[in-house]
Structure 1
Amino acid sequence: MVEIDGRRLELAGIVAVAVGGEKVTLSPSAIERMAASQRSARATAQVRPVYGRSTGVGANRSVTLDTSDASADQHGLNLLRSHAVDAGRALDRETVRAMLVVRVSQLAAGASGINPHLVEAVVEMLNADALPEVREFGGIGTADLPALAGTALTLLGERPTMDGTPVPVALASWPTEDALPFISSSALTIAQTILAHQKLVTMMDNLTTISALSFTAMSGNPEAFGPEVAKASESDAMAEVAGILRELVAGHGKPARIQDPYCLRMLPHSLGAVMEDLQSLRITLERLAIAGHENPMVFGSVEDGSNGVAHHGLFHMSTLARRIDSLQVSLGAACTNTLGRISRLCDPTFTGLPRFLAGNDAGQSGVMMLEYVAAAAVGRIRANAQPVSLQTVNLSLGAEEDASFATLGSAQLESTAHALATVAGVELVCASRAIRMQGRQPGEFSSARLQALMRAGLALPADVQDRDLRGDLEQAEQLVQASY
């Protein structure tokens, strides 16, 4: 059970709910915080205009709503219905579950003014796995309005769930005062980024170890990872990766060269840059997962008279977009070195083995085509590295004259994670084949981490005669996404 308190939520906990099916509960303090926020919002709306509560939204922000009669809730329904349109492919269950748990966590922060009963209904929806259907196109990095408006319509029974499962709490109405607070969030974008980030963290740990396998197969020179070199490096992450690599390759044997090619010598640089950007993105995501960024933001207390609202632009996910862009660039650069290692593993000059790690040098192609597959996947990663944060658009009669396109960035990061599994899988197949053909054994190395992945790689099919390698690669792709 993952408790949501609006103050702290680990990314691993979000993944446990999204992928592992863990249940969610709201803490009593979160419920009270939301109730206090609701009181504050209502009191503030009595004395001043509040966007989306007593006015229209977007270009209609100057239109004053009549909330004095029983038909006032129609404004809220109109807002939800008009904003629920999306398009493209339907997103998977894991992504939708991650979106819901992020949204619950944000609302639990107590800055929206929403009725806590509506948030409890979302928790019930999540725990019952009665999920709304959410499609890929709709957000532009300034709040995932279609995804969350569609979620509200599903809770109201106006839209079916993803698989027809009835929602456990079917709402009869959605007051106008709660419509905008519910949809004013980039929970989908944040959730997609979290899932991709967590996949990448695991894969980069494994790619570091796979790189050490390749280093061993090519008898690299570990001087590039030495402590004095690490001390002189320009970043803590680079120094840390150098230390990890130094431990991984301990006992690998005599170096074959005074100076290695960049794909080996620059491992601390390329992997360290990715690790640094993963860390920066993690900090941003942990903050966003508990941030009350609803516009307007509700603050203060009715009881002491400090209540109020602040209209702001925190929902504009420009920082998240830039963090994603930076990570994409460092991943694209790191993959250049990965391709370099794959190429050199096929070269007898570096391994002492038949070209392309084939069964013999009589014209067999061995792993030749795996290099092409890896290059195709790297092409996707490099294309995804084109900055989304430089894009913009002017919408809603000029009321929104900029957009971060962080939503596009999150989708591209997911695509990059998928492609990286192929790139890392290819290197694992090649490095493991080279190690096996050289007769190396896990017991030669002191690193338990290297031993574990080496055993996994040596469990791949041992036949080096020309054959269909699709199954080998599929197995390796699963291995690089596992934890060791």
Structure 2
Amino acid sequence: MIEIDGRNLTLAEIVAVADGASVGLAAEALERIDASQASAVATASRRPVYGRSTGVGANKTVALAESGDADTHGLKLLRSHAVDAGNPLDRRTARAMMVIRLSQLAAGGSGISPVIAEALAGMINADAVPEVREFGGIGTADLPALAGTALTMLGERIPLGGGAVPFVLETWATSDALPFISSSALTIAQAVLAHQKVARLLDNAMAVAGLSFVAMSGNTEALSPAVAAAADSASITTAANTLRALVEGTVGEPARIQDPYCLRTLPQIFGSQAEELHALGALLERLVVAGNENPLVHGSQGDGSNDVAHHGLFQMTNLARRLDTLNLAIGAACATHLRRIDLLCDPSYTGLHPFLAEDGSGQSGVMMLEYVAAAAVGRIRANAQPASLQTVVLSLGAEEDASFASLAAAQLTSTVDALATVTGVELVCVVRALRQQGKVPQDFPNSMLRNLLTAGFELPAGMGDRDLRGDLEQAIRLIGEG
């Protein structure tokens, strides 16, 4: 069970909950939520509080007490904000969204009732997750996704996959409506899941590139300690040292005085991606325990007074930029991924038949795999177009910008799948090349490369022209599993 205390929640723990782990609210988290609610009530008794005593968006000037709608406004808000469209997101994403929102509520800045937080934890443990669709958020809080979650908790919507919520909230107070939906928990969830997949994938992609380096007798001078020390980034230094450790003792005399960029710049290729991955991870670790609620309920310097702050932290500008930058780093590396696949098919680099064919009779070998990889690269490059450059004006001009972090997170999710395909293609090709060169796993002193090639040798050994879809699917699974 993962304890939610509003202070610490790792990205790995979010993945664990997405995969089915249960959760529990820490006692101090419940105390913090309760104190936050009391503070919000006290503040609302002496001055207007957005969404609690007023309407939202362009209706922020409407006083609910004067409109006669104070008692029913919250439920109306949830119902009106729950609309989304497109394809339903998977169960893992919905569960990740729910645990992130629970962690944010446990931080104690929302002013929400502890009953709502406990009900959300119960939904996670019962695996009664809302059906959330892809279009709705624009990077300024995932209002439709969380409003739909609330309607599922109220029994007004059927959970994903059918069935019923094992317990149903009887009502939803106006004071709890906006505090529940004022969060980018869905966007953050998508970013966390994509980040964790990218982290595993890039480690494996570096190892596959190491195999390609060996198959093409790369020159290890590009990975030397002197080169690593001269790098302009600590991440590139680390990548050079890692790559040298991968291939050391396996590569003999270099085939060339200077390799093509796809081999010579491997430290930059993987180091730059690792650097952006780390920066995104650090931001996500902060966001999953941050109370970016609007308004933010807080106390004043411990003097017993209560207040709220109306702000714009829900505008996920930094998250959009970090996602864009990682997408860009991956997209920029794709030319070298494709080039390694191309050179593995070139007899002048491997000493084998063109396209790693069985013989020189004109067989196509792995020729079409290069086309598959190129198609996947096209998707990655399209995803690298910065989502954060987009903007929009909504709600009668009350909201004149948006970060579109939600789009950037969806782009990274798509990029992960496409990059797995590109890496899978390289794995199929390099395993085939090493087989034809007569190499075996025992030739590799480095355990990571030895284990990877051992797994790669589980691919079919036949070199004659045949349908390679199954080979590629198996390779992609190996890449994803690590």
- TM bracket (short chain): over 0.9
Residue 126 of structure 1 corresponds to which residue in structure 2?
124
Q: CA deviation at 1:366?
A: 0.2
2:395 is matched by which residue type in structure 1? S
1:349 aligns with 2:348: yes
| Shift in alpha-carbon separation, 1:67–1:177, aligned structure 2, 3 A | farther
| Shift in alpha-carbon separation, 1:301–1:68, aligned structure 2, 3 A | farther
2:481 partner SS: coil
Residue 191 of structure 1 corresponds to which residue in structure 2?
189
What is the CA deviation profile of residues 200-243 of structure 1, one whole-angstrom value per residue up to 9, with x for unaligned ones? 00000000000000000000001101010011100000000000
1:72 partner SS: coil
Residue 438 of structure 1 corresponds to which residue in structure 2?
437
Aligned positions of 1:446-457 closer than 5 A: 446-457=445-456
Contact 1:40 1:302 in 2 (8 A): no
What is the CA deviation profile of residues 126-185 of structure 1, one whole-angstrom value per residue up to 9, with x for unaligned ones? 111111111110100000000000110111111111122221320011000000000000
Paired residues, what number? Answer: 481
Contact 2:40 2:111 in 1 (8 A): yes
Residue 87 of structure 2 corresponds to which residue in structure 1?
89
| Shift in alpha-carbon separation, 1:382–1:102, aligned structure 2, 3 A | same
1:14 aligns with 2:19: no
Task: Determine which of 109, 112, 118 is the counterpart of 1:111.
Answer: 109
TM-score by length of 1: 0.98
What is the CA deviation profile of residues 242-286 of structure 1, one whole-angstrom value per residue up to 9, with x for unaligned ones? 000000001122211110000000100111110000000000111
1:296 aligns with 2:271: no
Structure 1 CA distance, aligned partners of 2:434 and 2:310? 61
Residue 4 of structure 1 corresponds to which residue in structure 2?
4
Q: CA deviation at 1:306?
A: 2.9
Q: Which has the higher mean CA deviation after the structures are superposed, 451-460 or 385-394?
A: 451-460
2:371 is matched by which residue type in structure 1? Y
Structure 1 CA distance, aligned partners of 2:303 and 2:263? 63
Structure 2 CA distance, aligned partners of 1:165 and 1:12? 29
Q: Tell me, which stretches of 5 or more residues in structure 1 are unaligned?
A: none
Q: CA deviation at 1:187?
A: 0.3
Q: CA deviation at 1:67?
A: 8.2
What is the CA deviation profile of residues 70-89 of structure 1, one whole-angstrom value per residue up to 9, with x for unaligned ones? x6331001110110000011
What is the CA deviation profile of residues 305-357 of structure 1, one whole-angstrom value per residue up to 9, with x for unaligned ones? 23110011110001000001100111011111110100000000000000100
Structure 2 CA distance, aligned partners of 1:239 and 1:361? 42
2:454 partner SS: helix
Q: CA deviation at 1:91?
A: 0.7
Structure 2 CA distance, aligned partners of 1:115 and 1:346? 63
Contact 1:55 1:61 in 2 (8 A): yes
Residue 232 of structure 2 corresponds to which residue in structure 1?
234
1:236 is matched by which residue type in structure 2? A
Structure 1 CA distance, aligned partners of 2:151 and 2:85? 16
Contact 1:73 1:174 in 2 (8 A): no
Aligned positions of 1:59-70 closer than 5 A: 59-66=58-65
Residue 38 of structure 1 corresponds to which residue in structure 2?
37
Aligned positions of 1:71-470 closer than 5 A: 72-252=70-250, 253-300=252-299, 304-470=303-469
TM-score by length of 2: 0.98
Structure 1 CA distance, aligned partners of 2:207 and 2:231? 21
Q: Tell me, which stretches of 5 or more residues in structure 2 are unaligned?
A: none
Structure 2 CA distance, aligned partners of 1:246 and 1:194? 30
Q: CA deviation at 1:361?
A: 1.1
What is the CA deviation profile of residues 379-434 of structure 1, one whole-angstrom value per residue up to 9, with x for unaligned ones? 00000000000000000000000000000111111100010110000000001110
Contact 2:53 2:70 in 1 (8 A): no
Contact 2:191 2:412 in 1 (8 A): yes
Contact 1:39 1:302 in 2 (8 A): no
Q: CA deviation at 1:445?
A: 2.0
2:9 is matched by which residue type in structure 1? L
Q: Which has the higher mean CA deviation after the structures are superposed, 303-312 or 188-197?
A: 303-312
1:11 is matched by which residue type in structure 2? L
Structure 2 CA distance, aligned partners of 1:302 and 1:390? 38
Contact 1:389 1:406 in 2 (8 A): yes
Structure 2 CA distance, aligned partners of 1:166 and 1:122? 15
Contact 1:425 1:477 in 2 (8 A): yes
2:189 is matched by which residue type in structure 1? A
Contact 1:281 1:323 in 2 (8 A): yes
2:70 partner SS: helix
Structure 2 CA distance, aligned partners of 1:437 and 1:451? 17
Structure 2 CA distance, aligned partners of 1:73 and 1:264? 66
1:364 partner SS: coil
Structure 2 CA distance, aligned partners of 1:164 and 1:34? 31
Structure 2 CA distance, aligned partners of 1:444 and 1:92? 42
Contact 1:43 1:302 in 2 (8 A): no
2:54 partner SS: coil
Contact 1:54 1:67 in 2 (8 A): no
Contact 1:109 1:290 in 2 (8 A): yes
Structure 1 CA distance, aligned partners of 2:296 and 2:332? 40
What is the CA deviation profile of residues 76-115 of structure 1, one whole-angstrom value per residue up to 9, with x for unaligned ones? 0111011000001111101101100110011100000000
2:388 partner SS: coil
Structure 1 CA distance, aligned partners of 2:14 and 2:66? 38
Q: CA deviation at 1:304?
A: 4.1
